Structure 1
Amino acid sequence: MRRRELLAGAAAALGAPALRAAEAMPGWSDALQREARSILDGAASEGLDPADYREGPVEAAFARYLHDLHLGRVRARDLGFGVTVPVQDGALVTQALQEAVAAGRLANAVERLTPPLAQYRQLREMLARYRRLASAPTPVTLQAQLVAFGDLAPETDVSDEAVKRFQARHGLEADGVIGRATTAALAVPPARRVRQIELAMERLRWLPQRSGRPLIAINIPMFRLWAWNADAAEASPALAMNVIVGRAMRTQTPVFADEMTHLIFRPYWNVPRSILQNEVLPAMERDPGYLARHDMEMVPGADGGAPRVRQRPGPKNSLGLVKFIFPNDADVYLHGTPARELFARSRRDFSHGCVRVADPPALALWLLKDQPAWTREAIEAAMNGTRTQQVNLSAPVPVLLYYLTALVSPDDGLLHFADDLYGHDAALERRLAARRR
Structure 2
Amino acid sequence: MAFNTGKLLPVILVLFSPSQPTSADEVQPNNTPAAAISTLIAEKQNSLLIKPDFSKQADQLLSLYQLANNQFLWLGDSQSQTNIDAALAILTNAGADGLDPRDYDADVLKQTFELATAIPPSAINELAKFDTALSIALLRFVNDLHHGRVNPQQLNYPSPFGSKQFIEAAHLIKQAIDQHSVAQLPEAAQPKYKQYQQLKQILADYRKAPADGNFEPLIFEKALRPGEHHPQLDELRQRLITLNAMTPETADLQPEKFYSKKLQAGVKEFQRQNNLQADGIIGKETAAKLNQSLEQKILQIELAMERLRWLPDDITGPVIIVNIPAFQLRAFNSVNEADILSMKVIVGKAEKNQTPVLLEDMKYLEFMPYWNIPSSIMKKEILPKMYNNLGYLQSQDIELVQLYSKQDSGWYSVFDDIKHGRVRARQRPGKKNPLGKVKFIFPNKEDVYLHDTSSPSLFNRNQRDLSHGCVRVAEAEKLAEFVLGNQPETNWDLAAIQQAMSGSKTRRVSLSNPIPVLFFYTTTFVDQDNQIHFYRDIYNQDEVLEKALGRMPFPDNSSLVTAKTTTSG
TM-score range, shorter chain: over 0.9
Partner residue of 1:375?
493
Which among 540, 548, 551 is matched to residue 434 of structure 1? 551
Alpha carbons of structure 1 residues 120 and 387: separation in structure 2 relative to 1, 3 Å: same
Deviation at 1:384, TM superposition (A): 1.3
Q: Find the aligned partners of 2:509 and 2:44 in 1 and give their Cα distance.
A: 59
Q: Find the aligned partners of 2:149 and 2:97 in 1 and give their Cα distance.
A: 12
Whether 1:420 aligns to 2:420 is no
Partner residue of 1:122?
198
3-state DSSP of counterpart to 1:329: coil
Partner residue of 1:51?
102
Q: Find the aligned partners of 1:210 and 1:164 in 2 and give their Cα distance.
A: 38
Please tell me whether the aligned partners of residues 134 and 191 of structure 1 are also in contact (alpha carbons under 8 angstroms).
no
3-state DSSP of counterpart to 1:226: strand
Of all paired residues, the percent bearing the same amino acid is 40
What are the residue-to-residue correspondences of 1:24-35 with 2, within 5 Å? 24=66, 25=68, 26-27=71-72, 28=74, 29-31=79-81, 32-35=83-86
Query: 5+ residue gaps in structure 1?
Result: none
Which deviates more from structure 2 when the two are superposed, residues 80-89 or residues 312-321? 80-89
What are the residue-to-residue correspondences of 1:162-173 with 2, within 5 Å? 162-173=266-277
Alpha carbons of structure 1 residues 336 and 432: separation in structure 2 relative to 1, 3 Å: same
Please tell me whether the aligned partners of residues 245 and 353 of structure 1 are also in contact (alpha carbons under 8 angstroms).
yes
Alpha carbons of structure 1 residues 226 and 164: separation in structure 2 relative to 1, 3 Å: same
Deviation at 1:184, TM superposition (A): 1.4
Partner residue of 1:19?
61
Deviation at 1:302, TM superposition (A): 8.6
What are the residue-to-residue correspondences of 1:23-422 with 2, within 5 Å? 23-24=65-66, 25=68, 26-27=71-72, 28=74, 29-31=79-81, 32-54=83-105, 57-82=133-158, 84=160, 89-133=165-209, 135-136=211-212, 137-138=214-215, 141-155=235-249, 156-157=251-252, 158-209=262-313, 211-229=315-333, 231=334, 233-234=336-337, 236-300=338-402, 306-369=422-485, 370=487, 371-410=489-528, 412-422=529-539
Q: Find the aligned partners of 2:244 and 2:290 in 1 and give their Cα distance.
A: 13
Q: What amino acid sits opposite 1:280 in the alignment? A: I
Q: What amino acid sits opposite 2:91 in the alignment? A: L
Deviation at 1:50, TM superposition (A): 0.5
Q: What amino acid sits opposite 1:351 in the alignment? A: S
Deviation at 1:299, TM superposition (A): 1.0
Q: What amino acid sits opposite 2:508 in the alignment? A: Q
Q: What amino acid sits opposite 1:50 in the alignment? A: P
Please tell me whether the aligned partners of residues 268 and 310 of structure 1 are also in contact (alpha carbons under 8 angstroms).
yes
Q: Find the aligned partners of 1:385 and 1:303 in 2 and give their Cα distance.
A: 34
| Bigger RCO (CA 8 Å, 6+ sep) | 1
Please tell me whether the aligned partners of residues 254 and 353 of structure 1 are also in contact (alpha carbons under 8 angstroms).
yes
Q: TM-score, normalised by structure 2?
A: 0.72
Q: Could you report, residue by residue, the CA deviation over 1:229-268 in whole angstroms, capped at 9, with x for unpaired residues?
A: 2x4743x212111111111000001111010011000110
Deviation at 1:133, TM superposition (A): 3.5
Q: Find the aligned partners of 1:170 and 1:404 in 2 and give their Cα distance.
A: 13
Please tell me whether the aligned partners of residues 134 and 189 of structure 1 are also in contact (alpha carbons under 8 angstroms).
no
Please tell me whether the aligned partners of residues 266 and 382 of structure 1 are also in contact (alpha carbons under 8 angstroms).
yes
Which deviates more from structure 2 when the two are superposed, residues 385-394 or residues 152-161? 152-161
Please tell me whether the aligned partners of residues 152 and 162 of structure 2 are also in contact (alpha carbons under 8 angstroms).
no
Alpha carbons of structure 1 residues 323 and 303: separation in structure 2 relative to 1, 3 Å: farther
Q: Find the aligned partners of 1:43 and 1:364 in 2 and give their Cα distance.
A: 43
Q: Could you report, residue by residue, the CA deviation over 1:257-294 in whole angstroms, capped at 9, with x for unpaired residues?
A: 01001100011001111111211112212322221222
Please tell me whether the aligned partners of residues 40 and 50 of structure 1 are also in contact (alpha carbons under 8 angstroms).
yes
Alpha carbons of structure 1 residues 293 and 45: separation in structure 2 relative to 1, 3 Å: same
Q: Find the aligned partners of 1:134 and 1:6 in 2 and give their Cα distance.
A: 41
Alpha carbons of structure 1 residues 233 and 66: separation in structure 2 relative to 1, 3 Å: closer
Deviation at 1:10, TM superposition (A): 2.7
Alpha carbons of structure 1 residues 85 and 312: separation in structure 2 relative to 1, 3 Å: closer
3-state DSSP of counterpart to 1:89: coil
Deviation at 1:85, TM superposition (A): 5.6
Q: Find the aligned partners of 2:295 and 2:380 in 1 and give their Cα distance.
A: 43
Q: Find the aligned partners of 2:171 and 2:396 in 1 and give their Cα distance.
A: 60
Q: Could you report, residue by residue, the CA deviation over 1:138-195 in whole angstroms, capped at 9, with x for unpaired residues?
A: 3771111111111101141343332111112212111111222211110111111110
3-state DSSP of counterpart to 1:284: helix
Q: What amino acid sits opposite 2:429 in the alignment? A: P
Q: What amino acid sits opposite 1:10 in the alignment? A: F
Structure with bigger gyration radius: 2
Q: What amino acid sits opposite 2:492 in the alignment? A: W
3-state DSSP of counterpart to 2:550: helix
Q: Find the aligned partners of 1:424 and 1:373 in 2 and give their Cα distance.
A: 42
Deviation at 1:87, TM superposition (A): 5.4
Alpha carbons of structure 1 residues 413 and 111: separation in structure 2 relative to 1, 3 Å: closer
Q: What amino acid sits opposite 1:48 in the alignment? A: L
Deviation at 1:337, TM superposition (A): 0.6
3-state DSSP of counterpart to 1:434: coil
Q: Find the aligned partners of 1:184 and 1:212 in 2 and give their Cα distance.
A: 37
Which among 34, 37, 44 is matched to residue 5 of structure 1? 44
Deviation at 1:361, TM superposition (A): 0.7
Which deviates more from structure 2 when the two are superposed, residues 3-12 or residues 259-268? 3-12
Query: 5+ residue gaps in structure 2?
Result: 1-7, 9-39, 47-51, 110-132, 217-233, 253-261, 407-420, 554-569
3-state DSSP of counterpart to 1:258: strand
Alignment RMSD: 2.4
Q: What amino acid sits opposite 1:241 in the alignment? A: M
Alpha carbons of structure 1 residues 85 and 108: separation in structure 2 relative to 1, 3 Å: farther
Please tell me whether the aligned partners of residues 265 and 322 of structure 1 are also in contact (alpha carbons under 8 angstroms).
yes
Q: Find the aligned partners of 1:154 and 1:301 in 2 and give their Cα distance.
A: 71
Q: What amino acid sits opposite 1:116 in the alignment? A: K
3-state DSSP of counterpart to 1:65: helix
Q: Find the aligned partners of 1:123 and 1:265 in 2 and give their Cα distance.
A: 38
